[in-house]
């Protein structure tokens, strides 16, 4: 029960009380002027209260229709929000899938380039590799690889990895003796391994 229902009930109670009063006055023996004036007054009051009750009923109906309209709008908005959340979830999944695929595509060539098998360096290559580490830096090793047309290695690589890569590529392509000769030519004052 809300405020308009209470107001409507109170108005109807007042109208009922007026009707009872008018009926009671009619049962009394008539007095000429005062009775008729009083009846006219009560009838005017009854008409006023009835008009007020009708106005309250119309306002109540208007409010109920507005509430129903607002409920429909809220329901439509809830459906839209639900759809938007579903779209965001799907978009997030697509972003994650794209990111994973992009990372895999971007990182795989880098991993393949820096991947050196564990058994790459034969025991006879270890002294030469250690000599390269002691007397060359990464950029010089990169230049040696370019001079001998060996496979390039990534820009970011530690010296030990670069030396191992250089020796491995030279052995794989059959240019190990050429690499040794070029390295000795670049460092003639250094004792060989």
Chain-centroid distance, C-alpha 144: 50
Residue 187 has pLDDT above 70, yes or no: yes
At residue 34, the pLDDT reads: 67
In this predicted structure, the answer to whether residue 118 has a pLDDT above a threshold of 80 is no
Tell me the angle at which helices 138-147 and 159-173 cross, rounded to the nearest 10 degrees.
Answer: 20
Mean pLDDT of 107-121: 53
Backbone angles phi, psi at 180, to 5 degrees: -60, -40
Q: What is the pLDDT of residue 4?
A: 67
Rounded to 10 deg, the angle between the 159-173 and 126-135 helix axes is: 130
Quick check: 56 and 14 in contact, CB under 8 A? Answer: no
0.95 exceeded by pTM: no
pLDDT surpassing 50 at residue 127? yes
Residue 106 has pLDDT above 70, yes or no: no
Mean pLDDT, residues 142-165 taken together: 85
Average pLDDT of every residue of the chain: 81
Is the confidence at residue 113, as pLDDT, over 60?
Answer: no
Q: Average pLDDT for residues 20-45, to the nearest whole number?
A: 73
pLDDT for residue 155 is more than 80: no
Contacts of 148 (CB under 8 A, 6+ apart): 170, 175, 178, 179, 182
Look at residue 73 in the predicted model and tell me its pLDDT.
Answer: 92
Q: How far apart are the first and last CA of the chain?
A: 101
Q: Residue 115 pLDDT > 80, yes or no?
A: no
The rounded distance, in Å, linking the Cα atoms of 20 and 106 is 93
Beta carbons within 8 Å of 146's beta carbon, 6+ residues apart? 152
DSSP state letters, 40-52:
HHHHHHHHHHHHH
């Amino acid at each position: 029960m809300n405020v308009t229902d209470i107001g409507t009930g109170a108005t109807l109670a007042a109208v009922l009380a007026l009707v009872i009063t008018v009926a009671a006055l009619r049962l009394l023996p008539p007095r000429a002027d005062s009775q008729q004036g009083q009846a006219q007054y009560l009838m005017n009051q009854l008409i006023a209260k009835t008009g007020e009750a009708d106005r309250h009923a119309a306002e109540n109906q208007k409010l109920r229709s507005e509430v129903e309209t607002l409920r429909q709008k809220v329901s439509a908005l809830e459906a839209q929000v639900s759809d938007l959340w579903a779209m965001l979830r799907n978009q997030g999944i697509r972003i994650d899938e794209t990111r994973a695929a992009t990372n895999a595509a971007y990182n795989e060539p880098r991993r393949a380039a820096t991947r050196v098998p564990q058994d790459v360096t034969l025991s006879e290559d270890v002294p030469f590799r250690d000599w390269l580490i002691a007397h060359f830096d990464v950029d010089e090793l990169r230049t040696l690889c370019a001079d001998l047309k060996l496979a390039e290695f990534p820009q970011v690589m530690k010296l030990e990895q670069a030396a191992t890569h250089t020796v491995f590529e030279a052995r794989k392509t059959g240019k190990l003796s050429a690499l040794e000769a070029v390295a000795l030519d670049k460092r003639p004052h250094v004792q060989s391994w």
